Amino acid sequence: MNHTPPVCDYEGSDYRTRFWQNQNRNYEDRVERIALRRLMPSNGGTLVEIGAGFGRLADEYRGYERVALFDYSRSLLREAQERLGDDPKFIYVAGNWYAMPFVAGLFDTIVQVRTLHHAADAPAVFRQLARIARKDGRYILEFANKQNLKAILRYGLRRQEWSPFTLDPVEFAELNFDFHPRWIRRQLETAGFGPGRMLTVSHYRIALLKKLVPTRLLAGLDSLAQLTGNWWQLSPSVFVLNQHPDTAVTAAPDAFFACPACQTPLTEVDGRLPCPNPDCDHIWRVENGLYDFKDEG
């Protein structure tokens, strides 16, 4: 990689308690799960969640044989480990999505929810994902939609400077981006993915509504509205189902990790993953079940 874009670092963050725990976000959690269940095959071989955080959605992956929870934040992955206990199907991997530590063609299913908005270079993320995508698999991506109803109204009332209709991503706060659905589809195609069905999600993400209307009812209404996603996208969150690139390969059954610096396949030796490439010689760490590709071991 010639340049590494900046990373929104959640190390040591209180994301779970500050954002999810008792924060009146049951509605958002429910509607995201509804969309995920609609698009994601319920079982399969290998799955990776990109930016898995503290493993909020991990129970949705019980039907898979091996699940890699990948995130930049070691502390959030440790929280995931605590939540999920010793279930051997979960593999905790710390690293940067601009240099993914997996062999080519590894994952049947790739899931990415509530994280692309931190990507300063989304096309570079898609290129990495295209490499680790297995032939005939699926990539379920959720992204923050700049062309949402609130942004359109604010723009119309001149309360917002940026236009929700232009295709380029908008950085509305440092390392927080909203994307146009058409731009996202174009970038996915450029990376080789086949973007298909879209679901619009979280239509009723309005504090007063969430207070007044029972969560189940509001989630049910959102579930219906999600089905309009192929025709128009005015919700703050959009899910898109992608076919893996036609050029995707299938990894060898025993191959899993690859050096993020040079992509040479790695083998674990005494709690370490030394890169066998003589021109590279990185040594990656495994500590208490966490595979760490952030620093050299």
Ligand X SMILES: C[S@@+](CC[C@H](N)C(=O)[O-])C[C@H]1O[C@@H](n2cnc3c(N)ncnc32)[C@H](O)[C@@H]1O
Positions that interact with ligand X (CB under 6 A): 7-8, 10, 15, 51-53, 56, 71-73, 76, 96-97, 113-115, 118
In whole angstroms, what is the distance from residue 183 CA to residue 169 CA? 8
Nearer to ligand X (CB atom), residue 136 or residue 171: 171
Identify the residue whose tokens are 């992509």.
263
Question: Which of residues 7 and 249 has its CB atom nearest to ligand X in the complex?
Answer: 7
CB of 5 vs ligand X, minimal distance in Å = 8
- The dihedral region occupied by 281, where left means phi > 0, alpha psi between -120 and 50, and beta the remainder, is left
Which letter does DSSP use for residue 229 in this model? G
Q: Measured from the CB of residue 31, what is the shortest distance to ligand X in angstroms?
A: 12
Write the DSSP assignment of 32-66 as a string of letters.
HHHHHHHHS-S-EEEEEEET-TTTTTGGGGTTEEE
Q: Which is nearer to ligand X, 18 or 158 (CB)?
A: 18
Q: Kindly tell me which of 116 and 170 has the beta carbon lying closer to ligand X.
A: 116
In the complex with ligand X, the residue whose CB is nearer, 33 or 135, is: 33
Identity (one letter) of the amino acid at 187? Q
Closest separation in Å from C-beta 199 to ligand X: 16
Q: Which residue is nearest to ligand X (CB)?
A: 53
Query: Would you call 261 helix, strand, or coil by DSSP?
Result: coil
DSSP calls for 59-115: GGGTTEEEEEEEES-HHHHHHHHHHHTT-TTEEEEE--TTS--B-TT-EEEEEE-S-
**Structure tokens belonging to residue 123:** 């096309």
Minimum distance of ligand X from residue 64's CB (angstroms): 17
Q: Following DSSP, what letter does each residue of 2-17 receive, concatenated? A: ---------TT--HII
Q: For ligand X, give the closer residue by CB, 8 or 249.
A: 8
135 versus 285: smaller Cβ distance to ligand X: 285
Nearest CA among 107, 134, 133 for reference residue 250: 134
Collapse the DSSP code of 182 into the 3-class scheme (helix H, G, I; strand E, B; otherwise coil) and give the result. Answer: helix
Question: Rounded to the nearest whole angstrom, what is the least distance from the CB of residue 117 to ligand X in the complex?
Answer: 8
Q: For residue 127, give both structure tokens.
A: 């290129």
Angle at which helices 26-39 and 215-226 cross, to 10°: 40
Instruction: Kindly state the smallest distance separating residue 12's Cβ from ligand X, in Å.
Output: 11
Q: Per the structure block, which two tokens stand in for 168?
A: 């380029």
Is the Cβ of residue 16 or residue 135 nearer to ligand X in the bound state? 16
Identify whether the C-beta of residue 144 lies closer than 8 Å to the C-beta of residue 172: no
